[in-house]
Amino acid sequence: MASFNGFLRKSPSHSLAHFFQTKAMHIPDDFDWTSKGRGTALVDSINALLSKQANEAQDALKAELDHLASLADSNGLLCAEQICAGQQIDLETLEGVEDVLLTLAVNHPQLIDRVSAQASLMRRTGGKNWSAFQFENDGKPWELESKQARDGFLGDAIEILELPDHRKREADWYQVIRLHPVTGQEIEIWQATIYVEDRAESELSFGSSNSLERQIVQKVLEVGVACNAQDRVIEICAKGGKTLRDEYARAFAKHFAPTSEMPIETPRREVLLDHLRSNPTFNVEPADGIERVEVSTLDFFAPGGGFARFERRGEHENIYQFLERQLGVTSPLKASGWAITGATIRIIRAPTEGKRRKTLTVTLRTPNTTTLPNKTETDRQFVFDLLERWQLIAASPTDVDGIEVA
């Protein structure tokens, strides 16, 4: 198997030596872990070492190296950093993603599965097996660390999947730390991977007699949940369609946020706030039925931890005129070093026959949060179409299925 050879070439020698020395395999005392010509010599030596192991041990080691190699990219490193930050594990002195993965495989092997699950969730974000749900920011705490709530949610997940009670199940709850890409602010995320024993499948394999035999393989279903209590957002990653993910969201609200209103599904689209740096012209059409559009709040961040929020509402002076009048060239819109991290847009629709004037309000936050709580599905789609037209959110991603990590 050659797929892990590149991983071996890029790995620090001391980490490779430590990894293999923990695998209960015979390694000659004179084995040269620092041999020259890392492109071939060291890799060939390690493959020769593996070939001398018993067949089952050799296959297991190669499978583990293949798995580590599949995680050795920028996403894998980011996931490892997020998970280790949540566990207060310091990776600062390690030499790249290969060193990180080998160190975790030796010292914290259970975290490799979490890195794998996190990477799978990251790849599937925005795909057809993924949904995000926005709760209203009502200030009511979530009971994320409650064992009773976790057990109840797991029980509901089994019911949603319509699996028999005897099927084994397990939920792995852990905390990860995400960094805001602009402000660098730490965001605590509670993540859960629910493993459920699925229906068994029949597969062909070579048995002890070296001939093909049919064997029963027990499959495992996975459901991923990421909970951002700060932004009041949960992400559900599970096969079965939108209806099932809606049921998971309702089950989450029932057990972890029982006194809050039910969340609404909101697409996670990249927010493009640089278009609001100067007074924008919002392109509207007569068919939109819009009386006016205004930017009512702007949030700013400057390196070093400076945050600022400005709010201005009214027909006679907008927020851009207000900042110009009050701050002039020192306004965050003009002064260097300030980035826009959030904005609130108010869309005032003209009154129609028999109906009063209606205001639709949406808050945008970098990198990908758009809040439209307590709106009908028709209103939400109307606003998202406008935001895309005004280039305040990125176009909808291609709806593709994600790749599961083995």
Going through 45-182 in order, the beta strands assigned E by DSSP cover 130-134, 169-179
Q: Give me the pLDDT at residue 267, please.
A: 76
Q: Model confidence over 263-311: pLDDT tens digits?
A: 888 877 889 999 899 999 999 999 999 999 999 999 999 987 789 999 9
What's the CA gap between 339 and 311, in Å, rounded?
Answer: 16
Q: Give me the pLDDT at residue 397, please.
A: 58
Q: Residue 60: which residues within 8 A CB-CB, separation 6 or more?
A: none
Q: Model confidence over 302-320: pLDDT tens digits?
A: 987 789 999 988 778 999 9
Q: Residue 195: which residues within 8 A CB-CB, separation 6 or more?
A: 169, 170, 171, 172, 220, 221, 222
**Burial environment of residue 358 by CB neighbours within 10 A (0 to 12, 13 to 18, 19 or more):** middle
Q: Give me the pLDDT at residue 406, please.
A: 35
Which parts of the chain sit beneath pLDDT 50? 1-2, 37, 399-406
State the DSSP code for 321: H
What's the CA gap between 144 and 361, in Å, rounded?
Answer: 29
Q: Give me the pLDDT at residue 235, please.
A: 92
Instruction: Please give the angle made by the CA atoms of 34, 36 and 38, to the nearest 5 degrees.
Output: 85
CB 157 within 8 A of CB 286: no
Phi, psi angle pair for 284, to nearest 5°: -125, 155
